[in-house]
C-alpha cells in the first residue's frame, strides 16, 4: 500500500494539445498508479502518439498539465523511457551499443555499462546478437532491442507507442507474452498505445478509449482479469466479454460515421 501523501506516478489533468488552428485532444484526465498498466486505444489520427510525446516531455501541452511523481513534465526526464513505434534504433550502432545508449548518456562508467547491458540483452532474448547491426536482424528482434534500450535505464515509467505494431502476428504474440513476463519480474508503470483490442485487454489494467475530434477520453474500461496473465488468459470468458465491450465502444462511432457519410450523399 502506498503512503497516502505520495503523488501518483502519472497525473494528467485537463490536458490539451493544439497545433496552430488544429486542436488534437482536449480535457484529458488520467491518473496512473505505481504498478499500473494503462492501454490507450483509439482511431488513427486521434492523437495517441501526440499524447505519449507530451507525457515523455518531448513536446509541451497547450492546456492543462502532466505531472510525473508530482512534478510537471517539461522536458524528458530520467526514470521515464519510451519505446518507439518505428523502433528508433541507431543503424550505425550494434545491438549492444544501442542498448547501452541511454546508460551512456546518463554518465555511467563504461565498465558498469558493459556489466549491465548483457543482462537486458538476455532479458529480451537477444543474447548472441550483441555485435549485429540493426539491418542484420529481423523486425521483431529490432523491437526487442528497442525495448531493451528502454528497460536498461530502469525506468519507473515505461511509455510504448504501438510497440508491436510493426511486426508480424506471431512475433507480436510472442513479444506480448514476453513483455508480460518481464513486467511480472519488475512491475513498473506502463502506458502503451495500441490498435489491437486483444492486446489492450491482455496487457492492461485499464483501457483508455480516446475518441472524437478533438479527441478526449471517451471511456475508461477496468480490466479485472487476474495476474499473472498468459496464454490461458485469452481463453477466459471474461476476456471475451471485455474484448466485445471495447470493440462495441470503438465501433459505435465508426459505424455512425459510415451512416453519416451515406446520409450526406
Partner 1 sequence: MNLNSPWLRGATVAASLALGAVIWEVTGRYTSDAFWAPLSATLSSLREVAVNGVLLRQAMSSFQLYIAGLALAVVVGAPFGMLLARVRWLRVALEDYVLMLYSTPMVALIPFLLSMMGFGFAPKVLVVFLFAVFPVLYNTIEGARSIKPELIEVAQSFRSGEWQLWRDVMIPYTLSFTMTGVRQAIARGLVGMVAAEFFLSPSGLGQMIMMGSQNFDTAGMLAAILLIVLLGVGLMDLGRALEKRFAVWRGYNP
194 binds ligand ATP (CB under 6 A): no
d(CA 192, CA 124): 18
- Candidates 4-12, 47-55, 118-126, 134-142: pick the segment binding ligand ATP (CB under 6 A): 47-55
47 binds ligand ATP (CB under 6 A): yes
Which single residue is written with the C-alpha cell 497525473? 11
> Contact at 8 Å (CB) between 233 and 239?
yes
Q: Which is nearer to Mg ion, 99 or 193 (CB)?
A: 193
Q: Which is nearer to ligand ATP, 47 or 140 (CB)?
A: 47
Instruction: Indicate which single residue of 49, 62, 63, 196 sits in contact with Mg ion (rule: CB under 5 A).
Output: 49
Q: Which is nearer to ligand ATP, 24 or 30 (CB)?
A: 24
Residues contacting ligand ATP: total by CB under 6 A: 9
Instruction: Indicate which single residue of 2, 104, 231, 255 sits in contact with partner 1 (rule: CB under 8 A).
Output: 104
21 binds ligand ATP (CB under 6 A): no
| Count of other CB atoms within 10 angstroms of residue 85 | 18
50 binds ligand ATP (CB under 6 A): yes
Instruction: Indicate which single residue of 105, 220, 240, 254 sits in contact with partner 1 (rule: CB under 8 A).
Output: 105
Q: Which residue is nearest to Mg ion (CB)?
A: 49
Residues contacting partner 1: total by CB under 8 A: 25
Instruction: Indicate which single residue of 7, 45, 91, 248 sits in contact with ligand ATP (rule: CB under 6 A).
Output: 45
131 binds partner 1 (CB under 8 A): no
- Candidates 75-83, 178-186, 192-200, 254-262: pick the segment binding partner 1 (CB under 8 A): 75-83
Q: Which is nearer to ligand ATP, 52 or 145 (CB)?
A: 52
Kindly report the three-state secondary structure assignment for every residue of 66-119.
Answer: EEECCEECCCCCCCEEEECCCCCCCCCCCHHHHHHHHHHHCCCCHHHHHHHHHH
d(CA 142, CA 158): 18
Binding site for partner 1 (CB under 8 A): 56, 58, 75-78, 81-82, 84, 86, 88, 90-93, 101-102, 104-106, 133-136, 153
Binding site for Mg ion (CB under 5 A): 49
Binding site for ligand ATP (CB under 6 A): 19, 24, 44-50
Amino acid at each position: 500500500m502506498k503512503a497516502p501523501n505520495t503523488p501518483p506516478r502519472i497525473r494528467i489533468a485537463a490536458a490539451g494539445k493544439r497545433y496552430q488552428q488544429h486542436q488534437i485532444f482536449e480535457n484529458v484526465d488520467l491518473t496512473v498508479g505505481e504498478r499500473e498498466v494503462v492501454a490507450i486505444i483509439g482511431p488513427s489520427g486521434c492523437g495517441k502518439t501526440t499524447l505519449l510525446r507530451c507525457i515523455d516531455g518531448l513536446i509541451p501541452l497547450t492546456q492543462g498539465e502532466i505531472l510525473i511523481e508530482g512534478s510537471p513534465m517539461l522536458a524528458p526526464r530520467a526514470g521515464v523511457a519510451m519505446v518507439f513505434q518505428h523502433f528508433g534504433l541507431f543503424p550505425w550502432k550494434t545491438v549492444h551499443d544501442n542498448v547501452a545508449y541511454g546508460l551512456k548518456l546518463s554518465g555511467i562508467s563504461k565498465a558498469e555499462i558493459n556489466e549491465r547491458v548483457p543482462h537486458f540483452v538476455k532479458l529480451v532474448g537477444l543474447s548472441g546478437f550483441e555485435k549485429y547491426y540493426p539491418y542484420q536482424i529481423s523486425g521483431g528482434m529490432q523491437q526487442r532491442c528497442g525495448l531493451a534500450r528502454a528497460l536498461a535505464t530502469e525506468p519507473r515509467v515505461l511509455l510504448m507507442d504501438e510497440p508491436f505494431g510493426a511486426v508480424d502476428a506471431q512475433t507480436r504474440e510472442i513479444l506480448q507474452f514476453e513483455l508480460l513476463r518481464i513486467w511480472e519480474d519488475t512491475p513498473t508503470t506502463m502506458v502503451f498505445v495500441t490498435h489491437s483490442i486483444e492486446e489492450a485487454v491482455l496487457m492492461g489494467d485499464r483501457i483508455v478509449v480516446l475518441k472524437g475530434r478533438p479527441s478526449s477520453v471517451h471511456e475508461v474500461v477496468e480490466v479485472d482479469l487476474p495476474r499473472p496473465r498468459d496464454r490461458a488468459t485469452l481463453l477466459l470468458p471474461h476476456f471475451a466479454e471485455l474484448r466485445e465491450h471495447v470493440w462495441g465502444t470503438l465501433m459505435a462511432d465508426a459505424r455512425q460515421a459510415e451512416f453519416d457519410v451515406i446520409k450526406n450523399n
